[in-house]
Structure 1
Amino acid sequence: MKNLKIALSLLILISVTSCDDFLSEKPDNRTEIDTPAKISELLVQAYPQMSYFDIAETMSDNVFDSGMPETLRKNEQSYNWDIQTETTDIDTQAYYWDACYTAIAHANKALEAIEDLGSPASLNPQKGEALIARAYSHFMLVSLWSKRYNPATAASDLGIPYVTKPETELVTKYKRNTVKEVFDFIEKDIEDGLKIVTNDYKQPKFHFNVSASKAFASRFYLIKGDWDRVLELTSDLGSKPVGKLRDFASYDLLSAVDQRLAYASSDAETNLLIVSANSIVSRSYYSNRFYLSGARYPDIFGTATSLFNKPWLYNFYSSNSSITVFLPKFYEYFKYSNVTAGIGDPYVAEVLLSNDEFFLNRIEAHVMKGNIATANDELEYFLSTRTVGYVPTDKLTEAKVVAKYPVIADEYTPFYTMTPVQTSYVKAIAETRRRDFIHEGMRWFDVKRFNIVVNHETTNKPVNTLVKDDNRRAIQIPLHASNTGVELNPR
């Protein structure tokens, strides 16, 4: 771990102008979206412009009580799986909920405009992007605000409202679909979109290009347990995607600031979908008491946690006497609305989909199909790119995986059954994913789908335990949404 003190550079974010104004207008006053150019412009905003990273990460077992004297209220509330009472701040549950439905509104308006123009084949790329984008935002909503997907209960579990038409009233009341209905809608949008989505963009990594669409689809089908579809979607990666995974070794030659920039760069081969989020996630390591603490980070990143018993390539830093530590992933740009007054908005480029996750999804699908030898070889390749001093003689074996990740009764309990060997490999993959996506909230989704128990300790307070099937695994519906008729989650 390296010590670091950085003054955040406040740079003006050069942003793309969009057709966003129509959302703030009464329906009758909205600008007509009546040309292919306007539709494409509208779709720039069909992605959540807020971040879920801090929300999800803080609920997971990646964070601890660092002992920092103060913290943000939203950080403490997420740590205790409480509804966040702040509704006018970025990086909050309410803001991300709104960001997803705002993105959905843009996608729906684009789809309506395409239909109004007669749905010509020339607009298929925009239609494909709109469908995948709509599916993605709904998927994130149901993943955070509903119970985990379980086909045995999905038809009765509360999902979220799946919105497929532009709003025709200034305030529209929605009812929640079931989880099954939401997943069925998502699947239809994904499959329809995959048929026509393209790479024909000036900046393809800021759109649902073909690879990003497949990567998202693989995440969806992994949650659903459709291993054949995951393998089909990931077939282009092969068993050794040389040059397509993140090159953590190259980061060691960069300063922390340059590592932040490199992580979300559109030049990085692994990055498939990037969004500019209105977020202060780059400041979390010094503002959040409940974070990856300096005292506990060896529990996750110590040499003993490696299947090769060698150090990890991840390059950690600290700027507060090692109270908390961070991996440089987020670079903040500041867009001034008034330079003299120092007023503006912070933005962070966030990687929403990558080849790293895409490949791990493939490995897990191989495990669940019983292709243990193939999964073993692919996992070894992935870990070789994350290990200091890896040499070809550092062979990964089933015996090593089982020894490092033994089966513990009722620890991992997905809705499907797993053999003991499958359980050990799935744990190994989940732990690999946990490290690779530290600070990005990915661990929370594994906590939910595997029903992992989480203990959150706070100094001078009883341990707060998130037990299996705890209702708090589904975030409570934001107050402003429940006030307009969206049914609350049980507590």
Structure 2
Amino acid sequence: MKNIKIAILLLVLISISSCDDFLSEVPDNRTQIDTPEKISELLVYSIPEASYMDIAETMSDNVGDGELSNIARKNEQSYNWEMHDQTDIDTEANYWDACYKAIAHANQALRSIEELGSPANLNPQKGEALLARAYSHFMLVSLWSNRYNPATAATDLGVPYVTEPETVLLKQYKRNSVKEVFDFIQRDIEEGLPYVTNDYAEPKFHFNKEAAKAFASRFYLIKGDWDKVLEVSDGLGSKPDKKLKDYATLSTLAPDIQFVEYGKSSYTSNLLIASPNTLIGRSASSSNFYLNNDKQNEIFDSSNPFGKTWYFDFYSYNSSRTLFTPKFEEYFKYTNISAGIGEPYCGIVLLSNDEFYLNRIEALVMKGRIAEANTELVFFLGTRTIGYNEATDVLTTEDFMFLYPEIENELTPFYDMTSEQTSYVKAILEARRRDFVHEGLRWFDVKRFNIVVEHETFGKPTNTLVKDDKRRALQIPISASNYGIEKNPR
């Protein structure tokens, strides 16, 4: 009996001890983010670990039918502005989820900073988290909502703007209006900009100072706030040749070297780099609807305003009708070497001085500073032209108006433009289209200027994306709409 009593007593003591240990643990067993080092590590994941580029590029007017025998389902659906019915790599649902995961990391970092008393030494992390949160929401609203128009933004459906860490399972969210989303983005940008720093071991993989300004310039350009674009881009200066991508040198390299060089962090022109899980490096060989011969000629071969040749190089796989310029170096991370199983990753440039500079030139045009815009745009075009001679290769306003004439109802932004401004903006849009081919930026210009896009498929009628077509806003992924996120009208 004595032995039994001792055993029962020990059991009670063990139970009490176990109960205390259990009650002392965090209910959901998540890691406590309670040091500056942990916050910095968390922010590594505040940039989406997926890519929008293949989706956006295929919806734009940069692509055509390559007439390949095998057609990837998601590639065909993007080409026809249809909702993806898959959720794997490089799909709409995949990018949606990646953006909200990145936002969750940024929100947890901000909460942890607040719980630590918001000390000044954590201001750089706070700035990075705010910019990262703004960026992911901006990409979401740019893809899944109507284009920004102040006349309709208060009633247009935006996306849920999430500002708190996830603390409950399957929390319900509602869509903010486009105006609300843009207001939140602007608040985060303007609060975060003064705090961001370049003090990182690898600054190009974080929202460093110049990357933050470049993103801000993209945002303000969409809003039509030309003064803000000029303010954040003032540090670029005039004719910033050392800050732009050096195509004269790139074009001398073999394509396998160009793949690596294009996205290197050592280039001054590259401001923010990511390494998402994506197959975009294989698009030219596996996507039927890609840059084909006709589109390559339209965008590059017949468009040099100096009557010369562009530096851009193009190649094809196995004499395919789809072409590529080397930009994406794939890294395949094996999870099982014996079985040959793993995941593909690519280094991609999310923000660059090249886009930053074009944003500034466009703002100069819209502010009526035509002489300055002319100087900068001619210089930019010259850096992409073989044999450019600054003394003799001159373009006047009359030249731009002749080469890029105003066509009625072609560009229809929410604001008015003069004929002179229209011609310069068309030239800038074409410059951006060339520089960022394969990278998806053309789609955002298609949306904000309401450009009509025609997609031809061999043996089928032409599919036309008319102005204000509802398909310009991607449909909300099923995984989100099933939990109460309102769908876009169709």
Q: TM-score, normalised on structure 2? A: 0.94
CA shift at 1:171, angstroms? 1.1
Please state whether the residue corresponding to 2:347 is helix, strand or coil: strand
Aligned counterparts of 1:123 and 1:197: Cα–Cα separation in 2: 10
Counterpart in the other structure of 1:468 = 467
Counterpart in the other structure of 1:169 = 168
Deviations 1:55-74 (A, max 9, x none): 00000000001111121100
Q: Is there any run of 5+ residues in structure 1 with no aligned partner, and where?
A: 1-25
Counterpart pick for 1:360 among 348, 358, 361: 358
CA shift at 1:296, angstroms? 3.1
Aligned counterparts of 2:335 and 2:314: Cα–Cα separation in 1: 34
Higher deviation after alignment, 250-259 or 359-368:
250-259
Please state whether the residue corresponding to 1:312 is helix, strand or coil: coil
Counterpart in the other structure of 1:150 = 149
Q: Is there any run of 5+ residues in structure 2 with no aligned partner, and where?
A: 1-25
CA shift at 1:254, angstroms? 1.3
Counterpart in the other structure of 2:6 = none
Counterpart in the other structure of 1:136 = 135
Counterpart pick for 2:332 among 331, 334, 347: 334
Counterpart in the other structure of 1:208 = 207
Asked if 1 retains the 8 angstrom alpha-carbon contact of 2:66 and 2:320, the reply is no
Structure 1 residues 158 and 27, CA, compared in 2 at 3 Å: closer, same or farther? farther
Counterpart in the other structure of 1:65 = 65
Deviations 1:412-452 (A, max 9, x none): 00000000000010000000000000000000000000000
Asked if 2 retains the 8 angstrom alpha-carbon contact of 1:455 and 1:465, the reply is yes
Q: Which amino acid in structure 2 is aligned with residue 118 of structure 1?
A: G
Aligned counterparts of 1:474 and 1:368: Cα–Cα separation in 2: 26
Aligned counterparts of 1:34 and 1:341: Cα–Cα separation in 2: 40
Counterpart in the other structure of 1:82 = 82
Counterpart in the other structure of 2:182 = 183
Aligned counterparts of 2:182 and 2:438: Cα–Cα separation in 1: 27
Counterpart pick for 2:386 among 385, 388, 410: 388
Asked if 2 retains the 8 angstrom alpha-carbon contact of 1:108 and 1:134, the reply is yes
Counterpart in the other structure of 1:457 = 456
Alignment of 1:283-322 (within 5 A): 283-302=282-301, 304-322=302-320
Counterpart in the other structure of 2:226 = 227
Alignment of 1:36-51 (within 5 A): 36-51=36-51
Q: Which amino acid in structure 1 is aligned with residue 366 of structure 2?
A: M
CA shift at 1:322, angstroms? 4.0
Asked if 2 retains the 8 angstrom alpha-carbon contact of 1:66 and 1:295, the reply is no
**Cα RMSD between the aligned structures?**
0.9
Question: Which has the greater radius of gyration?
Answer: 2
Q: Which amino acid in structure 2 is aligned with residue 335 of structure 1?
A: K
CA shift at 1:242, angstroms? 2.1
CA shift at 1:172, angstroms? 1.3
Aligned counterparts of 2:295 and 2:203: Cα–Cα separation in 1: 39
Counterpart in the other structure of 2:346 = 348
Aligned counterparts of 1:401 and 1:255: Cα–Cα separation in 2: 34
Please state whether the residue corresponding to 1:485 is helix, strand or coil: coil
Please state whether the residue corresponding to 1:455 is helix, strand or coil: strand
Asked if 2 retains the 8 angstrom alpha-carbon contact of 1:27 and 1:169, the reply is no
Quote the sequence identity (%).
66
CA shift at 1:309, angstroms? 1.1
Higher deviation after alignment, 317-326 or 113-122:
317-326
Please state whether the residue corresponding to 1:336 is helix, strand or coil: strand
Aligned counterparts of 1:192 and 1:61: Cα–Cα separation in 2: 36
Aligned counterparts of 1:108 and 1:97: Cα–Cα separation in 2: 17
Q: Which amino acid in structure 2 is aligned with residue 228 of structure 1?
A: D
Aligned counterparts of 1:178 and 1:253: Cα–Cα separation in 2: 48
Aligned counterparts of 2:155 and 2:29: Cα–Cα separation in 1: 39
Counterpart in the other structure of 2:20 = none
CA shift at 1:461, angstroms? 1.1
Deviations 1:65-85 (A, max 9, x none): 111112110000000000000
| Segments of 4+ moved more than 4 angstroms | none
Aligned counterparts of 2:355 and 2:370: Cα–Cα separation in 1: 19
Please state whether the residue corresponding to 2:293 is helix, strand or coil: coil
Q: TM-score, normalised on structure 1? A: 0.94
Asked if 1 retains the 8 angstrom alpha-carbon contact of 2:451 and 2:467, the reply is yes
Q: How many residues align?
A: 464
Structure 1 residues 27 and 85, CA, compared in 2 at 3 Å: closer, same or farther? farther
Counterpart in the other structure of 2:271 = 272
Deviations 1:443-490 (A, max 9, x none): 000000000000011111111110000000000000110000000000
Asked if 1 retains the 8 angstrom alpha-carbon contact of 2:107 and 2:133, the reply is yes
